[in-house]
Amino acid sequence: MSANVSNPIQILRRVQNMMDWLPEPSDFRRDLRQSLEMASSADRLHALARLAQHRLGFLETILLDRALGRLCVERVPGFSNVRLAILGSATVDHLAAPIRVAGLRRNLLMEVHVGAYGQYRQELLDSASPLHTFCPQIVLLSLTARAAIDDVPVTATADEANATLGRAIDEMRVLWTKAQEAFNATVIQQTFLNVAEPLFGSHDRVVSGAPARLIARLNDQLVEAASAHAVSILDLARRSERDGLNAWFDATRWLQGKFEIAPQAAPMYGELVARVVGAERGLSKKCLVLDLDNTLWGGVVGDDGLDGIVLGDGSAVGEAHVALQRYAAQLRDRGVILAVCSKNDPAIAEAVFHHHPEMVLKRSDIAAFCANWDDKPENLEVIAHQLNIGLDSLVFVDDNPAERARVRESLPMVAVPEMPGDVAQYVGCLADAGYFEAVAFTPEDRQRGDQYVANASRTDAQKSAPSLDAFLAGLEMSVIFGPFQAVDLNRVTQLINKTNQFNPTTRRRTAQDVSRFLATGRDLTLQFRLVDRFGDNGLVSAMILRPDPNVPDLFEIDTWVMSCRVFGRQLEMEVMNIAVEAARLRGARAFRGVYIPTAKNGVVSGLYPRLGFSADPRPLATSGASGWLMCLADYVPLGTHINRKPEVSVG
Amino acid sequence: MTDQEILGACTRILQDLLSDDSIALTMTTEREDVPNWDSLAYVSFIVAVEIEFGVKFPVADVESFSDVGAVVRRIKALMAGP
């Protein structure tokens, strides 16, 4: 540690550059002033959110948060409200402002409750505590390893060490369950910073009672237990390995005021928290759009030719481009959609994918391929449209600062990382930016890449079919359906929280909510998979129907979501046919559907009338929302080209 | 940098942190003289000053700065090097 401490200035500098994928603000103080001079509070909020998209240091983060607090806004269209409580065993007060600022970066208005110093157990367990009054939607536990294992002597036997670890994990389980049950909150558990000093040196890894080994094992067991409790992880331990412990922990600050997370690292801490919160709410990016020349390979293929570009073998620069391709391929394998947006001759660009021996990415890995001479923002709109996802789901990677600036200016919702000057740093920069943060890895994620390839085949089939009807008939579609099963929990939760378009109510549900629907049996839950001759589209639609407490034979469509990948396939009609039959078996005589408009769900604005519902004249609490009713006795099944395969009996 | 320049920069940082443009630090100002300069704001002030000047105060200093003048003199000494 002494070697690092002797150069604390360099550490400070490194910490200030932690968030280097974000562009520098041109003039922070001027921009902040101008933001606050805008006419309406909504305009001021939008301006502050734009400013939050920039690289902000320690002081800038505090100033932006101060300005946000002065706006006194409560609800603004386009922004979601989140109540988060951070509970710590050390000082965590300095983390609230960075969490709010990083939330603002994602259009989240975060209200943060900071637990009293070291009082996390009492606050959680005492139902009269301020925490219970606050009633958080998210509980973030930011604890120190010292609190858990400090009493273990280095002479402890393996059994003694195990017993202490077991007790520490058991206590965490109690706290998690309490937070989940008392508030129905999503719990985020931070991994323990491994602040233990080397005692034996490398041999620490071997000694049961060595503090460094204890903390490492505690983290391993913590992550396993968390996963079993549907608790999300904030992996600060891993992050500090990447940045160096001294970027996160400053002994002076610990001694001065029990700050385990160094204040200068707090802006990055806020970013890490907001990523997990964003991932829970379906705000993570979905698609990586790559430039070609000097991004996927070195050189300009139009000038240098297929043989002249720098890629792979024999060149360090060529290997750096291969490394970026490998990383993109790994992202594809975990469910991120890949696209290309390049100023190029399309035939020449495609030829590289087909014929260059060092290409890691194949043409079939790319779900949308735009190589032409058009403006890049236009092409990005084409890509979003083609993939049926929002522009705010795109990350655009381009080595050219002018193209990046152009896209940022015309499409501010597209994420555009500042790429480093050195191609060797491309992968690290993209990875550190954390655009694709996830809280689950589902079978659908694993298959997504193949599903987009299958979609391309479907598009070809559609082009060659004489009519839409003939195309749909030729797809040989089957729907497999049944009530929610425990095994579907992750995917159903993911679908409910990530679906913005086919989602009439945009109600978000935590994994606990969904498992409760599954357990009580009071409500009717249905999940649907769509299979056709090109492949399995996976679990693509889910519905929750709840009997009205006052009129039990009136079933309210509480939640209905469908993946954008299967729009235009008549699935919504078959889903309604199935839902009506299943609900009749439960004694339902009428359905009620509600449409609550958002910026993104226009596609379902006419859904209920199209399916045969008529307008419910009763007024609704939400402005702009409309209610729709259908009497099941009058329901005539809708004709579709989809066959049925019930998975298990419904009803 | 002169004492006055360092003092000016410290004043701006504290004005920012406490959202109070009326703060006018002198070499003899003590923490108790400035309204709302609580312990969290003090830590934030120290961190912001360290970042601004590229220095790192030893723990003995941050615990015992008697007045703003002591901070200014320490910054000057640290900037001059060992």
B79–A contact, CB cutoff 8 A: no
Q: Could you report the predicted ipTM of this complex, rounded to two decimals?
A: 0.95
B19–A contact, CB cutoff 8 A: yes
Q: Which residue bears the tokens 């890049």? A: A376
For the sheet with A642-646, list strands across it. A614-616, A626-631, A590-595, A554-562, A535-547, A524-532, A477-482, A642-646
pLDDT at A313 (0 to 100) = 82
In terms of average pLDDT, the best of A135-144, A309-318, A531-540, A591-600 is A135-144
**Residues spanned by the domain of B40:** 3-80
CA A189-A192-A194 angle, to 5 degrees, is: 165
Q: How far is B19 from chain A (nearest CA, A)?
A: 8
Q: In 3-state terms, what secondary structure has residue A369? A: strand
Pairing verdict, β A614-616 and A626-631: antiparallel
d(CA A185, CA A511): 10
- Would you state the structure tokens that stand for residue A76, as one six-digit string? 């603004």
Query: A448-457, B22-31, B57-66: lowest mean pLDDT where?
Result: A448-457
Q: Which helix (H) or strand (E) is A321 found in, with range?
A: helix A316-333
pLDDT, tens digit (0-9, with 9 covering 90-100), for A553-568: 999 999 999 998 888 8
Q: Taking Cα atoms as reference points, which of A313, A308, A383, A315 lies closest to residue A351?
A: A308
d(CA A596, CA A314): 58
Which member of B13, B40, B51 has the closest CB to residue A93? B40
Q: What percent of chain A has pLDDT over 70?
A: 97
- Confidence at A3, pLDDT banded by 50, 70, 90: very low
pLDDT, tens digit (0-9, with 9 covering 90-100), for A9-40: 677 666 767 899 999 999 999 999 999 999 89
Residue spans in chain A of domains classed CATH 3.40.50.1110: 80-280
- Confidence at A490, pLDDT banded by 50, 70, 90: confident
Q: In 3-state terms, what secondary structure has residue A137? A: coil
Burial class (CB in 10 A: 0-12, 13-18, 19+), A267: buried
Pairing verdict, β A554-562 and A535-547: antiparallel
Q: Which of A252, A253, A259, A261 to mutate to test the interface with B (most CBs of B within 10 A)?
A: A252
Q: Taking Cα atoms as reference points, which of A249, A243, A222 lies closest to residue A233?
A: A222
Contact B44 A263 (CB under 8 A): yes
d(CA A513, CA A256): 42
Residue A552 has φ and ψ, to the nearest 5°, of -60, -20
Which member of A12, A59, A66 has the closest CB to residue B13? A59
Strand partners, A397: A290
> Do A375 and A383 form a contact (C-beta atoms < 8 A)?
no
Correct CATH for A466-646 of 3.30.200.20, 3.40.630.30, 3.90.1720.10, 3.30.70.20? 3.40.630.30
Size of interface A-B (CB pairs under 8 A): 52
Query: What's chain B's average pLDDT?
Result: 93
Q: How far is A23 from chain B (nearest CA, A)?
A: 19
Q: Which helix (H) or strand (E) is A110 found in, with range?
A: strand A108-114
- Chain A residues lying within 8 Å of B40, measured CB to CB: 93-94, 257
> Do A342 and A309 form a contact (C-beta atoms < 8 A)?
no
Taking the CA atoms of A154, A159, A165 and A168 in sequence, report the sign of the dihedral they define: negative
Strand partners, A298: A310
Contact A251 B58 (CB under 8 A): no
* A521-540 average pLDDT score: 90
- Confidence at A296, pLDDT banded by 50, 70, 90: very high
pLDDT at A128 over 80: yes
Nearest CA in chain B to A251: B59
> Do A501 and A385 form a contact (C-beta atoms < 8 A)?
no
pLDDT at A2 (0 to 100) = 36
Residue A549 has φ and ψ, to the nearest 5°, of -60, -30
Q: Which residue has the higher pLDDT, A648 or A394?
A: A394
pLDDT at A315 over 70: yes
DSSP H helices, A107-250, are 120-125, 130-134, 145-149, 158-183, 211-228, 236-243, 245-248
Contact A251 B57 (CB under 8 A): no
End-to-end alpha carbon distance in chain A: 64
d(CA A326, CA A38): 45
Contact B51 A259 (CB under 8 A): no
* A280-287 average pLDDT score: 94
- Chain B residues lying within 8 Å of A66, measured CB to CB: 19
- Chain B residues lying within 8 Å of A62, measured CB to CB: 16-17, 44
Query: A94-108, A317-331, A631-645: lowest mean pLDDT where?
Result: A631-645
Q: How far is A151 from chain B (nearest CA, A)?
A: 26
d(CA A453, CA A534): 9
Query: Which residues are CB-neighbours of A533 under 8 A, at least 6 positions away?
Result: A474, A475, A476
Q: How far is CA A547 from CA A267, A577, A592, in A?
A: 46, 18, 10
- Confidence at A222, pLDDT banded by 50, 70, 90: very high
Q: How far is B1 from chain A (nearest CA, A)?
A: 19
pLDDT at A169 (0 to 100) = 96
Cα radius of gyration rounded to whole Å, chain A: 26
Q: Which of B51, B61, B63, B74 to mutate to test the interface with A (most CBs of A within 10 A)?
A: B51
- Confidence at A369, pLDDT banded by 50, 70, 90: very high
Strands in A390-466 per DSSP E: 394-397
d(CA B5, CA B24): 13
Residue spans in chain A of domains classed CATH 3.40.630.30: 466-646
Helix (H) and strand (E) counts for chain A? 27, 17
Nearest CA in chain B to A70: B19
Query: Which residues are CB-neighbours of A210 under 8 A, at least 6 positions away?
Result: A154, A196, A199, A200, A203, A204
Contact B56 A94 (CB under 8 A): no
Contact B43 A12 (CB under 8 A): no
Contact B54 A13 (CB under 8 A): yes
Q: How far is B46 from chain A (nearest CA, A)?
A: 10
- Chain B residues lying within 8 Å of A255, measured CB to CB: 59
* A574-578 average pLDDT score: 96
Nearest CA in chain B to A62: B17
Pairing verdict, β A366-372 and A337-343: parallel
> Do A248 and A261 form a contact (C-beta atoms < 8 A)?
yes
Domain count, chain B: 1
B78–A contact, CB cutoff 8 A: no
B56–A contact, CB cutoff 8 A: yes
Contact A252 B59 (CB under 8 A): yes
- Would you state the structure tokens that stand for residue A251, as one six-digit string? 């002994």
- Would you state the structure tokens that stand for residue A31, as one six-digit string? 């921009």
pLDDT at A650 over 50: no
**Dihedral of the CA atoms A593, A597, A598, A603 (nearest 10)?**
80
Contact A264 B19 (CB under 8 A): no
pLDDT, tens digit (0-9, with 9 covering 90-100), for A229-277: 999 999 999 999 999 999 999 999 999 999 999 999 999 999 999 999 9
- Chain A residues lying within 8 Å of B47, measured CB to CB: 58, 253, 263-264
* A341-360 average pLDDT score: 95
d(CA A397, CA A341): 9
HSE (CB half, 13 Å, CA atoms) of A174?
11
pLDDT at A12 (0 to 100) = 67
Query: What's chain A's average pLDDT?
Result: 92
Q: In 3-state terms, what secondary structure has residue A423? A: helix
pLDDT at A5 (0 to 100) = 44
Q: Which of A7, A58, A59 to mutate to test the interface with B (most CBs of B within 10 A)?
A: A59
Query: A38-52, A66-80, A636-650: lowest mean pLDDT where?
Result: A636-650
Q: In 3-state terms, what secondary structure has residue A553? A: coil
- Chain B residues lying within 8 Å of A253, measured CB to CB: 43, 47
What does DSSP assign to residue B21?
T
Residue A116 has φ and ψ, to the nearest 5°, of -65, 150
B62–A contact, CB cutoff 8 A: yes
Residues in chain A: 651
Contact B59 A256 (CB under 8 A): yes
B58–A contact, CB cutoff 8 A: yes
pLDDT at A4 (0 to 100) = 41
Burial class (CB in 10 A: 0-12, 13-18, 19+), A479: buried
B64–A contact, CB cutoff 8 A: no
pLDDT, tens digit (0-9, with 9 covering 90-100), for A47-71: 999 999 999 999 999 999 999 999 8
B28–A contact, CB cutoff 8 A: no
> Under an 8 Å CB criterion, which residues of A touch B?
8-9, 12-13, 16, 57-59, 62-63, 66, 93-94, 251-253, 255-257, 259, 263-264
Helix (H) and strand (E) counts for chain B? 4, 0
pLDDT at A467 over 90: no
- Would you state the structure tokens that stand for residue A406, as one six-digit string? 């152009």
> Do A205 and A213 form a contact (C-beta atoms < 8 A)?
yes
B13–A contact, CB cutoff 8 A: yes
pLDDT at B1 over 90: no
Can you spell out the DSSP letters for A560-625? EEE-GGGTTSSHHHHHHHHHHHHHHHTT--EEEEEE---SS-GGGTTHHHHTT-EEE-S--SSTT-
Nearest CA in chain A to B59: A252
Q: In 3-state terms, what secondary structure has residue A645? A: strand
Q: Which residue bears the tokens 């994620």? A: A445
Q: Does domain A287-433 have CATH number 3.30.1050.10?
A: no
End-to-end alpha carbon distance in chain B: 17
Q: Which helix (H) or strand (E) is A547 found in, with range?
A: strand A535-547
> Do A502 and A562 form a contact (C-beta atoms < 8 A)?
yes
Q: Which helix (H) or strand (E) is A94 found in, with range?
A: none
Contact B51 A253 (CB under 8 A): no
d(CA A283, CA A383): 19
- Would you state the structure tokens that stand for residue A527, as one six-digit string? 């999940």
pLDDT at A430 (0 to 100) = 97
* A337-342 average pLDDT score: 97
d(CA A429, CA A649): 49
Q: Which of B14, B43, B74 to mutate to test the interface with A (most CBs of A within 10 A)?
A: B43
Contact A59 B16 (CB under 8 A): yes
Which member of A8, A62, A66 has the closest CB to residue B56? A8
Q: Does domain A80-280 have CATH number 3.40.50.620?
A: no
**Dihedral of the CA atoms A374, A375, A376, A379 (nearest 10)?**
-50
Which member of B19, B39, B57 has the closest CB to residue A257? B39
